[in-house]
Amino acid sequence: MPELPEVETTRRGIAPHVEGREIVEVIVRQPRLRVPVPGDFSERLVGARIGMLSRRAKYLLLPIEGEGEGEGEGEGAGSLIWHLGMSGSLRIARLGDLPKTHDHIDLVFADGAILRYHDPRRFGFVDWLAGGADCDPRLANLGPEPLSEAFDGERLYRLAQGRRIAVKPFLMDNAVVVGVGNIYASEALFLAGIDPRRAAGRISRERYERLAVAVREVLAAAISQGGTTLRDFVSGTGEPGYFKQRLNVYGRHGQGCRRCNAELRLVTLGQRASVFCPTCQR
């Protein structure tokens, strides 16, 4: 599943091609996504412009400015909220580029660029967001962004008090901090030297400070490398992510630790596979 670095890579890749551009046509080839495509999708969008793209957790937000033909017309009428699901990607195409199998939605712009949504498994969705992000239940109760000043070790330590849950699923809880999925939680815990099985409430403030730093370091590095391509992910320009080459533990069980050469172990935590080094992580 695309995680925060992949979604941020997508945002950065498509933004120069869509921000400020007028939508002249909307093509929906497959409306049956995880959330059905709104019936008035075309009416709301044709004739409007895309504002400045943003990201909240793993959601992309595309403000719609100007006047479409639907009920949401008018400046600042709302936003599109887009989630890539398990296998989705947003890419930039041009007029004349024939759609491929599983290319479900096109937003066609006046300059000939196309924002094309591809999703083989159809677990992603695009929906209309009429009010602000805080009004939508999918966004209202999310924790802070991990690269923001609101996220630090003190927050992790405070929220962990009395918690028996293992630290890895605790770190992946979107109410604690958003966007730290399976890949990057595994990598951050390795950098911080913390066993992913350890109870969240039995980790010191000092170690949580190290973990917060590790989370930011891992995510920043992944974004700089264009995310991680394990199978489906490509950026908005069709490029794979290269962070896979830098993974220390994720997907490497049975191999030697890059630090100490101990055999990496595989366990299941919160129904997710977790790989760790039994020597470096305690």
| pLDDT at residue 137 in the model | 86
Over residues 110-123, the pLDDT tens digits come to 999 999 999 999 99
pLDDT tens digits for range 83-108: 999 889 999 999 999 999 999 999 99
Could you tell me the pLDDT band of residue 133, with boundaries at 50, 70 and 90?
A: low
Calpha distance 71→201 (Å, rounded): 49
Whether the CB-CB separation of 144 and 54 falls below 8 Å is answered with: no
CATH code at 4-135: 3.20.190.10
Residue 134 carries which side chain, given as an amino acid letter? D
Q: What is the pLDDT of residue 240?
A: 43
pLDDT category at 241 given cuts 50, 70, 90 is very low
Residues belonging to the chain: 282
Asked if domains 4-135 and 153-276 share a fold, the reply is no
Residue 243, pLDDT score: 53
- Return the active site residues: 2-3, 58, 272
Which CATH number is correct for 153-276, 1.10.8.50, 1.10.10.10, 3.90.10.10, 1.20.1740.10?
1.10.8.50
Specify the pLDDT at position 70.
52
DSSP letter, residue 102: T
Please tell me the predicted confidence (pLDDT) of residue 280. Answer: 98
User: So where are the chain's domains?
Assistant: 4-135, 153-276
Q: Categorize the per-residue pLDDT at 16 as very low, low, confident or very high, splitting at 50, 70 and 90.
A: very high
- What pLDDT, on a 0 to 100 scale, did the predictor assign at position 75? 44
Question: What pairing do the DSSP bridges indicate for beta strands 54-56 and 23-28?
Answer: unpaired
* Angle at the Cα of 194 from the Cα atoms of 188 and 200, rounded to 5 degrees: 100
What does the pLDDT read at residue 74?
Answer: 42
pLDDT band of residue 201 (cuts 50, 70, 90) is: very high
**pLDDT in the model for residue 246:** 75
When the pLDDT of each residue in the chain is averaged and rounded to a whole number, the result is: 89
Using pLDDT thresholds of 50, 70 and 90, give the confidence band for residue 225.
confident
